Structure 1
Amino acid sequence: MKHLFFGCFKPKKKSSKQCNDQVSKQHSSKRISLSDLSGPDSPISFNDLSNSLVGSNLHVFTLAELKKITSKFSSSNYLGEGGFGTVYKGFIDDQLSPGLEAQAVAVKNLDLEGTQGHKEWLAEIIFLGQLKHPHLVKLIGCCCEGKHRLLVYEYMARGNLDKLLFRNYCATLPWSTRLQIAIGAAKGLAFLHEDQKPIIYRDFKASNILLDSDYTVKLSDFGLAKDGPQGDKTHITTRVMGTQGYAAPEYIMTGHLTTMSDVYSFGVVLLELLTGRRSVDKTRPHREQDLVKWARPQLKDSHKLDRIMDPRLEGQYSAEGAKKAALVAYQCLSRHSKCRPTMKTVVEALEPLQYLNDIPIGPFVYVVPSEVGKENNKEVEKKGCDQNQKGHTKKGHRHRQKLRVERSRAVYSDTALYKISKDMV
């Protein structure tokens, strides 16, 4: 394993004029853009790229090393699959490389027949190799051997928002956690938009929002990201790509991409957090399948808001906070891009909602099973609780009581985080 060096890129011959142009370009701006690699008038060699990213501490892994840390990409280490390819969990020990700390990692393996390819792999390295922020996933290194393209990231213990919000049948996300996720994601996008060279994420969606053990948001998957318009340009024109249900209407219709396209996508995710519904759900009645069309008209009416709030919250949320978050979502989802707020404004609007203390506190209701003898014997036995023919022992009873308390805390844990604060201006 080595520090970053792109042996798979062949250097191009350049005239002295091109060399001078590239030197002046690099001196005028610190960050390399993806267009620097693909623009016909401004080619860049692998030496230029390596020198620019050398301070990022990215590592180049060998394929053999990645096979070792993932147990040969074992199915037991399988984490999921996306447009880029399959993702596996691995573990780097402190003996693999002197410069790396021992840690769990996620290894993305490019699917050569998938929808994304070498250019998207390269975009990940270009953006995440240079951008550092608490709400962007950390890229540790990459692998480029023959046709193999892999990326190595920090491991995110709780997976992605899509999984937690829509596929977690054990517990629902409490209101405070949903707000925390929305604010963290908004801060990540605001950072990208306010960079010296603005970056348009282009594929903002629930499955690209990763969460660590503390529910800290990390934006991932920069394969479709683009450098935004600069100078007098108001937009960039590109092939329409992204995910159905999240893309801004003007981008779909014209291919014109701006930072406001990301703002619209954020509005969709915020709406998903409020309602607990997917952006597109074909299993619902026809008029409710498109979340934005169904829910947006009701966001401004506080009397109708209760109808669309996630019923799994069971009313345990701040009415004032939900009302103001709904108004933010309403503005982000405007069909006119110029009417949408900037992500910086969104952050300023959402942050104060964390401190509202009007969450109703109600009793936790536990329903006793009609036949106690059939109550999850496996769970009791797993905890070492003996049973007899007449029912559960005292030890088993104490264990079941502990489980009920833990379930209750899962519902109400968010209430302790709220403090008295002034209303959002």
Structure 2
Amino acid sequence: MSRVYDSWEKLVGAVLDREELRRLALCDSFTTSNYSDHSSRFSFDSSAASSGRNNFSYPIARPIELKEIRKATENFRPAMFIGQGVMCQAFRAWIDEHALVASKPGSGMAVTVKKWCNYLERHQDWLKKIDYLVQLRHPKLVNLVGYCTEEDNMMLVYEFMPNGSLSDHLFTTQNQSLPWTRRIRVALDVARGLCYLHDRDRPIIHRDFKLDNIFLDWELNAKLSNYSYGTDDPTGEKACVGTHQVFVAHGYTAPEYTLKGHLTTKSNVYTFGVVLLELLSGTLASNLNLGKSYFGTKSRLLQIIDVRLGGQYSHDAAYEVVKLALKCLNQDPKARPRMADVVVALQQLQGHEPVQ
């Protein structure tokens, strides 16, 4: 068994060397940040933040020994528990980012350890999932740092995102509201992340795309989380996956999926339109029951803009954002733009100066 595992490791390494060259060609810039998929659920010592911030390009994810993960999480002590996901438990931890061994809290790299609870998944399928996940490297994804498959344990270690989810900043009073310019920047970050997933040789559909799975790093840059849900099914423009494989939240569902169970990259575009309106209005998707006629005039548009944004934006820029959202929300998937087109549109919108 050890020989099989070693051979698999060498094969993955060879594939990743090629993928690293491809990543360098595709990515516009690389900033360093750290991550927790449930970072808003526990307090973080800001005095230790600088030591958890790393100034290096994202390395390829590597195996982490089970004993080191146990040490870093204090053997999964309840005090290290962050939260419960759909198929996993999350624990906070600190590791040495170079040696990938446990380090003292406040030193090394802050990470989140996801301990999978889906024991029905075959071990071989789990290895294939890791083989695919480690190839995904982009500054707008919450990136995989390492993984563990020892003793049939299934664990993924991700970078830590200290500023919580986007929903924390839009819908709670615990965090400072995001200004207009930052919201447009967040929308662009998210669009770039989706564009990277969609434009791969084998397109990836994010099957749980929503504000709760968009996280903010040290500088409030946005990154997509839980994109792994889209990696183990046939994908592409004509892909169709079963309802038991999808986690689309209420208010984010594209009409073609509701009616026929079809989920494609254009379904992600539809959900992006919903997210864009949430950013603009500061209102939950489930409460955005507004028809297109509502946005017919600029004066009516002003009625939905988050009151916390007063005086920060130009009316023309806000109207352009809404029109872009409506294009994404087109009932006909073929009429929706590609995420690459959305990226271009948002880059142009960044040129609009906010009203002082």
TM-score, normalising length: structure 1: 0.64
The Cα shift of 1:203 comes to: 1.8
1:333 is matched with which residue? 329
AA aligned to 1:211 is L
The Cα shift of 1:58 comes to: 2.6
Alignment partner for residue 345 of structure 1, among 338, 341, 350? 341
1:375 is matched with which residue? none
Give 1 or 2 for the bigger CA radius of gyration.
1
The 5 Å alignment of 1:60-71 reads 60-71=63-74
| Runs of 5+ unmatched residues, structure 2 | 17-59
1:419 is matched with which residue? none
CA contact (8 A) 1:192 1:199 kept: yes
Q: Which moved more, 1:166-175 or 1:324-333?
A: 166-175
The Cα shift of 1:77 comes to: 3.5
Are 1:317 and 2:323 an aligned pair? no
The 5 Å alignment of 1:9-408 reads 50-55=9-14, 56=16, 57-93=60-96, 97=100, 102-112=108-118, 125-226=130-231, 229=235, 234-240=237-243, 241-242=246-247, 243-280=249-286, 289=287, 291=288, 293-294=289-290, 296-359=292-355, 361=356
The Cα shift of 1:72 comes to: 2.9
Q: Which moved more, 1:60-69 or 1:46-55?
A: 46-55
Q: Deviations over 1:276-332 (max 9, x none)?
A: 11112xxxxxxxx3x2x3264423431111111112223422322211111111110
- Secondary structure (helix, strand or coil) at the match of 1:307 reads coil
The Cα shift of 1:161 comes to: 1.2
Q: Deviations over 1:160-188 (max 9, x none)?
A: 21222223434211111111110011011
AA aligned to 2:256 is E
CA contact (8 A) 1:228 1:259 kept: no
The Cα shift of 1:158 comes to: 1.1
The Cα shift of 1:358 comes to: 4.0
CA contact (8 A) 1:120 1:223 kept: no
1:358/1:207 CA distance change after superposition, 3 Å? closer
Q: Report how many residues are paired.
A: 305
Q: Which moved more, 1:137-146 or 1:49-58?
A: 49-58
AA aligned to 2:71 is K
- Secondary structure (helix, strand or coil) at the match of 1:107 reads strand
CA contact (8 A) 2:240 2:264 kept: no
Structural RMSD (CA): 3.1
Q: Deviations over 1:131-169 (max 9, x none)?
A: 221112221111224453211011111122122222343
AA aligned to 1:325 is V
Q: Which moved more, 1:266-275 or 1:122-131?
A: 122-131
Percent identical pairs in the alignment equals: 36
1:118/1:309 CA distance change after superposition, 3 Å? farther
The Cα shift of 1:52 comes to: 3.8
CA contact (8 A) 1:237 1:257 kept: yes
The Cα shift of 1:113 comes to: 7.9
1:265/1:75 CA distance change after superposition, 3 Å? same
What is the CA–CA distance in structure 1 between the aligned matches of 2:329 and 2:277, rounded to whole Å? Answer: 9
CA contact (8 A) 1:123 1:224 kept: no
The Cα shift of 1:266 comes to: 0.8
| Runs of 5+ unmatched residues, structure 1 | 1-5, 12-45, 281-288, 362-425
2:28 is matched with which residue? none
